[in-house]
Amino acid sequence: MKELSSEDFIKGQVLLVNKPLTWTSFDIVNKIRSSLKYNLGIKKIKVGHAGTLDPLATGLVIVCTGKATKQIDQFLGLDKTYVATVKFGGTTPSYDAETEIDGTFPYDHITREKLDDAISLLSGEIEQVPPLFSAIKVNGRKAYDLARKGEKVTLKARKVMIFKVEVLSFDLPVVKLKIHCSKGTYIRSYAHDLGKALNSGGYLTALERTNIGEYQVEDALEIGDFEKIFQQK
């Protein structure tokens, strides 16, 4: 990344960042904001991200600085592509590995043909219920805060679009999928619904966001590389 001035960042920059495992999207924003303020002597600067990634997911996050934060809404509307690792035979309350398995199911009956049929069923415009462990607001409170406290939460189904799903590997009980979908799609819910469609259980064990619209993770900065542009000054 070329050297940029404080004026450049205030005018607005669109940064592609490869989010590390266990970091939140806010961690990325906070790190970049703190780095800008410290290295460029800026007292205040707007920094925001265009779409969250769960802590247990990795991959592309778009971060905007300064006046470029006005573009965030247009990035939010772009379609996304993910590489998802799904494990059949179990379910978890969070639909991923954040929580313990709460149900076990057979998976030996699953064949590649049955998987393809289930994927066809869950393609195009579908109704999807978001995970209880999500940041969706329920009466002003985040659903995951309520779920972690054991409070009853009911989330409404929403329409999302699954454009294409490609099976990258099939090695039961684990499959790896490349999923091209619309904004608002929860891949954790997709993994859960796929398990149900196969008369089994399914949950996400790994997730990488590879694309947001035409933006690719291959072009993204590691968070350490962002720091290096200041060290080279």
Question: Which residue reads 């590997």 in tokens?
Answer: 169
User: Does residue 54 have an active-site annotation?
Assistant: yes
At residue 43, the 3 state secondary structure works out as coil
CB–CB of 150/167 below 8 Å? no
Give the Cα separation of 67 and 7 in Å (integer). Answer: 11
At residue 83, the 3 state secondary structure works out as strand
Signed CA dihedral, 197, 146, 151, 140: sign only: negative
Q: Which of 8, 27, 54, 116 is catalytic?
A: 54
The residue count of the chain comes to 233
CB–CB of 36/229 below 8 Å? no
Question: Which residue reads 């639909």 in tokens?
Answer: 95
**Catalytic positions, written as ranges:** 54
